[in-house]
Amino acid sequence: MCDQTFMAATFGPCDSCGKASPLMNIYIKSEAINYCSFCVEMMACQQLQKGETLQSLKKESDSLKKKLEEERGKLNDVELHQVAEKVEVLSSLSIKTRRVLKGHGNKVLCVDWCKDKRRLVSSSQDGKAIVWDAFTLNKEHGVTLPCTWVMACAYAPSGCAVACGGLDNKCSVVPLSLDKNENLAAKKKSVAMHTNYVSGCTFTNSDMQLLTSSGDGTCALWDVESGQLLQSFHGHTADVLSLDLAPSETGNTFVSGGCDMKANVWDMRSGQNIQSFESHESDINCVRYYPSGDAFASASDDATCRFYDLRADREVAVYQKDSVIFGASSVDFSLSGRLLFAGYNDYTINVWDVLKGTRVSILFGHENRVSRVRVSPDGTALCSASWDNTLRIWA
Amino acid sequence: MSSSSSIVAMKKVVQQLRYEASINRVKVSQAAAELQQFCMNNATQDPLLTGMSSSTNPFRPQKVCSFL
């Protein structure tokens, strides 16, 4: 890199790098700065403030991290289960398998309920997505997608379309038609384009926007009609495995969790990462908001589920047991938020008391890993999807 | 230049940390009390928690009715 030739009035140690060289005497906001020409160039190109170097930035980031931990620690005056000591212990639950939905040819990877509380869409490794009526076990629609491992599926709020995506790096929206003879796959529309697999998708409050998470480490908000990218969310340093939209009507935040062991809360309009939580010891497989929207739970390969409060900005509960050693793949809350259903890789679903931190019940039935658990919109039933090719409805 | 990209990356990290450090936080005791309050308020409407009788729950098997 060639220096411009300049008249050097002084020679001496540079204020920034310390090396002895001809100094450029410049003024920044009427303050005299004596840097060598190299440091002046660096400052101009990287918009570093006076005195910022890689070392100083590192020091600042370390001290900020410590300060954050201290601030969070100061507010930890009591544990959630201590506050909940006065709450009545839950009586045993009588939840049993009420329906078994058979029809997929391979592992069922994802399931989502429709707002009408009876329909569900499920997607599988065999490349198919099926829309079921859970009351009658009727298969209403079947869509064949050109890729295997359809890892994400979602029902549109209107009930008129479903979105699915996976290893094809895309998320497609398929409008559901009442005409049985119509070929649904022909009407399929690719909305989201990522550079790696799509791990999760959800419609926002309307059919018009789709939020996706991907193995490329980003989340993105898309306009369904035009396929345009409206906002992208960068911050994860590894695959993002799950996302969930905040439950309020006006809400515009969502939480995502990934292989970097972090759960991040994002503002949908600005793309800003509002809060970040890092306490898991392995990949976070699933994140789900508490029904009030003030907290969320996460399930991880470290065999624990954790509960984070957004206003206290910290983890407030850990759901674990020495006998539970397999990773948790999915979580969902019951309607009141008192129960947390968590599906594990040891084929069971554990039901945890959110406030007390204890396990209330274990649901047995699946013959392979449970990949997803979802509570119906009115809270009457739980649907679980599993690698044993079936879905079960528990009530 | 790798050092300039890592400086830019570090700047982003520091900016993000500054932003996170400045948010308002609430004590865990208060947050926990509010979570508990929400649970208690909605507990009666939670079918999986309180259990539903066969007649109202669409998923529970109903008694078979036979023609007399």
Could you list the pLDDT tens digit for every one of the 395 residues in chain A?
Answer: 556 676 767 788 877 777 788 887 777 776 777 777 777 777 777 666 555 677 788 888 888 888 888 888 888 888 888 888 888 888 888 899 999 999 999 999 999 999 999 999 999 999 999 999 999 999 999 988 888 899 999 999 999 999 999 999 999 999 988 776 667 777 888 999 999 999 999 999 888 999 999 999 999 999 999 999 999 999 999 999 999 999 977 678 999 999 999 999 999 999 999 999 999 999 999 999 999 999 999 999 999 999 999 999 999 999 999 999 999 999 999 999 999 999 999 999 999 999 999 999 999 999 999 999 999 999 999 999 999 999 999 99
Domain-ending residue, one of A25, A41, A74: A74
Q: Please tell me the distance in Å from B2's CA to the nearest CA on chain A.
A: 12
Query: Do A59 and A137 reside in the same domain of the chain?
Result: no
Complex ipTM value: 0.83
pLDDT for the residue A333: 96
Q: A119 — phi, psi (to 5°)? A: -95, 150
CB contacts of A68 in chain B (<8 Å) are: 17, 20-21
Going edge to edge, which strands form the sheet with A284-289?
A: A284-289, A295-300, A305-309, A314-319
Query: Do A223 and A157 reside in the same domain of the chain?
Result: yes
pLDDT for the residue B63: 59
C-alpha closest to that of A168 among A204, A202, A192: A192
A135, B58: Cβ pair inside 8 Å?
Answer: yes
Q: Would A218 be classed as within a structural domain?
A: yes
Query: Do A258 and A288 reside in the same domain of the chain?
Result: yes
Please state, rounded to an integer, the average pLDDT across all residues of chain B: 80
A373 has a chain B CB within 8 A of its CB: no
Instruction: Note down the domain range covering A145.
Output: 95-394
Per-residue pLDDT in tens (0 to 9) along chain B, 68 residues:
445 667 777 888 888 888 888 888 888 889 999 999 999 999 988 888 888 776 777 777 665 666 76
Domain-ending residue, one of A10, A44, A74: A74
Chain B, nearest residue to A92 by Cα: B49
C-alpha closest to that of A87 among A360, A357, A355, A358: A355
Task: Indicate the number of domains in chain A.
Answer: 2
Amino acid at position A220, single letter: A
Q: Would A79 be classed as within a structural domain?
A: no
| CA distance to A20, A43, A56, A103, per residue, from A52 (Å) | 19, 9, 6, 61
Question: Which of A72, A137, A253, A309 to substitute to test the interface with B, most B CBs within 10 Å?
Answer: A309
pLDDT for the residue B2: 47
Cα distance between residue A194 and residue A286, in whole Å: 20
Angle at B66 between CA B64 and CA B67, to 5 degrees: 160
B32 has a chain A CB within 8 A of its CB: yes
pLDDT for the residue A20: 81
Cα distance between residue A187 and residue A160, in whole Å: 13
Query: Do A265 and A367 reside in the same domain of the chain?
Result: yes
A83, B36: Cβ pair inside 8 Å?
Answer: yes
Q: Would A87 be classed as within a structural domain?
A: no
Query: Do A67 and A175 reside in the same domain of the chain?
Result: no
Q: Would A347 be classed as within a structural domain?
A: yes
Across the interface, which of A46, A99, A290 has its CB nearest the CB of B59? A99
CB contacts of A270 in chain B (<8 Å) are: none
Query: Do A23 and A125 reside in the same domain of the chain?
Result: no
Q: Would A89 be classed as within a structural domain?
A: no
Tokens of A178: 């009442």
Query: Do A162 and A281 reside in the same domain of the chain?
Result: yes
Tokens of A374: 């979802």
Domain-ending residue, one of A17, A40, A74: A74
Query: Do A32 and A174 reside in the same domain of the chain?
Result: no
Tokens of A66: 């410590």
pLDDT for the residue A174: 92
Query: Do A40 and A140 reside in the same domain of the chain?
Result: no
Q: Would A81 be classed as within a structural domain?
A: no
Query: Do A169 and A46 reside in the same domain of the chain?
Result: no
- N residues, chain B: 68
Angle at A99 between CA A95 and CA A104, to 5 degrees: 130
Domain at A334, CATH number: 2.130.10.10
Query: Do A131 and A239 reside in the same domain of the chain?
Result: yes
Query: Do A177 and A299 reside in the same domain of the chain?
Result: yes
Cα distance between residue A38 and residue A18, in whole Å: 12
